[in-house]
Chains A and B, each alone.
Chain A
Amino acid sequence: MQVVQTINSTARKIPNWAVYLLGTLPVIWVFYAGLTGQLGVDPVKAIERQLGSWSLQLLVAGLAITPLRTLFNINLIKLRRAVGVLAFFYVLMHLLVWLVLDIQLLWGEIWKDIVKRPYITVGFAAFVLLLPLVLTSNNFMVRRMGPVVWRNLHKLTYVIVPLGGIHYLWLVKGWQIEPMLYLAGIAMLLAMRVWWAQQKKMTRRVPA
């Protein structure tokens, strides 16, 4: 497949720093747009929600990389770390907007929100679980931990991404379609992995 080959060879040529650089531009833009009144009359919510959406999209994108290779031979593995680290950066900015611009460092309310409001609890749990992943997303830690431990640790994404989706479903009022679509997509990406793992087990059990 010509298209797949083109994608793969292009992906191989993209340096990580380019992903990080391009990835920060939207963040700069969204703050600039908010400051200059381009995001409507409530720029704080607009920025907070935009960053939340992008966070979730990046997390889902990270989860889609392996299935893309398995299903279509599209190989973006080289970009996976950058996508993941970028996703963390977006979640961090999302959290900071909430802390500084929305709830405005009223620590009493912040703590109450984290323990009492399910959608905040879930979002915050996802953020905390992302910390060990971002801290180990460098060559030094991969080498030090060894590939098996490292890979097992990074299976935390299978918990983090659904938490992000549940956070979204929980924070909207009424039954809205968008968070449900995200959750359905996430469930599918995870179900594929379960399916493949079972296939592998079965083939291994069959004597050659």
Chain B
Amino acid sequence: MTYTFKTELTHADVTPKAAFMNRRQIIAAGGALIGGSIASPALAKVLEFTKTDYGSDLTLNSYEEITTYNNFYEFGTGKDDPARNAHVLTTDPWTIKVDGMVDNPGDYALADLIGDIPLEERIYRFRCVEAWSMVVPWNGFQLSHLLDKIGVQEGAKYVAFETLLRPEEMHGQRRKVLDWPYREGLRLDEAMHPLTLMATGIYGESLLGQNGAPIRLVVPWKYGFKSIKSIVRIRLTDEEPPISWNMANPREYGFYSNVNPNVDHPRWSQSSERLIGGGLFAKRQPTLMFNGYEDEVAGLYEGMNLAENF
């Protein structure tokens, strides 16, 4: 059932590398100053990717907005903490454990696992459960491509993910705000859906620590916390895996957590949202069913009571 978005774009549409070179050189210089160690922290590198027209009608948030306003409790609970603290994250080397009901289990170096999968750009809405939103130009590939590669076995029904556990670098993990490591999961059909992305970059540059370097999930029709960051484990299973926010507070956070303006969250009304970047007087916008991806994903939940399966 896997399919890829059609794109009529050609090589000429690949983002010109030169456009990003300046920033890269500046960052490289900064890296050299800090340098010395072999393992390298998450400094942005220019990526090569194919443009798609997905989301081209949306107005992008700026690189600054996307990289300075983050929820990533592993680096602190304030919105600006991750941008301040995540630069120490070592992302090279990076190993991902693939296990459970797969044909090719193992501990893979990141490049060995995904190095041959081409990147594309996907512009998606990003809706946080706290009722704010952004528009992000991700660079990544469909999770389905990776799942095809690792070989999903008959009978597997869910994909479970885990974030890195490394309190020496992720200072937020020294406090038990959540039961670390952070865990997330998807039903297999959600994971195989063509909208579901594994992202390694934003705006054509490799992810910074605060955005989930070196690799993260992006599920645009679900609240942001489902899009787990800095992934070190992918496991296929036949049981619904435990997910961190549901473990912390089952009344407030369900396994599905689909964006739904009609199902209220006990803390935040979900019927409207504030789009980041509009300044002090930006008007709230109505929240769209499945964050505007209803046509693509409503079928996944046919016959399900979305108020019960929230």
Assembled-state Cα–Cα distance A120/B68 (Å): 27
Out of B79, B178, B282, name the residue touching A174 (CB < 8 Å). Answer: B178
Interface residue stretch chosen among B160-168, B269-277, B292-300: B269-277
Residues of B contacting A117 in the complex (Cβ-Cβ under 8 angstroms):
266-269
A156-183 residues with Cβ-Cβ distance < 8 A to B are 171-177
Closest to B252 in A: A173
Q: Is the Cβ of A104 less than 8 Å from the Cβ of B284?
A: yes
Q: Point out the residue from B248, B266, B280 that lies within 8 Å of A34, measured CB to CB.
A: B280
Determine the chain B residues whose CB is within 8 A of the CB of A37 once the complex forms: 279
Q: Which of A39-47, A80-88, A127-135 contacts B (4 or more CB under 8 A)?
A: A39-47
- For B134, the closest partner residue in chain A by CB is A41
Taking CB as reference atom, which chain A residue is nearest B177? A174
A42 in contact with B264 (CB, 8 Å): no
Residues 86-122 of chain A: 1 if any B CB is under 8 Å from the residue's CB, otherwise 0? 0000000000000001111010010011001111000
Q: B13 → chain A, closest Cβ, in Å?
A: 29
- Please report the C-alpha to C-alpha distance between residue A43 and residue B79 in the assembled complex, in whole angstroms: 12
Q: Is A35 an interface residue (CB 8 A)?
A: yes
Asked if A42 contacts B281 (CB within 8 A), the reply is no
Partner of A44, one of B77, B79, B269, B280: B280
Which residues does chain A contribute within 8 Å of B284, judged by CB atoms? 103-104, 106
Interface residues of B, count at CB 8 A: 31
Asked whether, in the complex, the Cβ of B178 is within 8 Å of the Cβ of A43, the reply is no
With A104-B283, A117-B267 as given contacts, are A109 and B272 in contact (CB-CB < 8 Å)? Answer: yes
B175, CB-defined interface residue at 8 Å? yes
Q: Is the CB of B112 closer than 8 A to any CB of chain A?
A: no
Determine whether the beta carbon of B68 is less than 8 Å from that of A40.
yes
Q: B225 to nearest A CB, angstroms?
A: 9
Whether B65 and A102, one on each chain, are in contact in the complex, defined by CB atoms closer than 8 angstroms, is no
Complex Cα spacing A41 to B132, Å: 12
- Collect the chain A residues with CB atoms within 8 Å of residue B79's CB: 40, 42, 45
> Is B73 in contact with chain A by the CB < 8 A criterion?
yes
Contacts A119-B267, A174-B73, A174-B77 given; 17 further ones with Cβ under 8 A? A40-B79, A42-B132, A47-B280, A103-B284, A106-B284, A109-B272, A112-B264, A112-B269, A116-B264, A117-B269, A171-B267, A173-B245, A174-B177, A174-B178, A174-B248, A176-B175, A177-B175
Interface residues of A (CB under 8 A from B): 34-35, 37, 40-45, 47, 101-104, 106, 109, 112-113, 116-119, 171-177
Give me the interface of B with A, judged by CB distance under 8 Å: 64-65, 68-69, 73, 77, 79-80, 132, 175-178, 245, 248, 264, 266-269, 271-272, 274, 276-277, 279-284
In order of increasing CB-CB distance, the 5 nearest A-B pairs are A174-B177, A41-B65, A41-B69, A43-B280, A109-B269
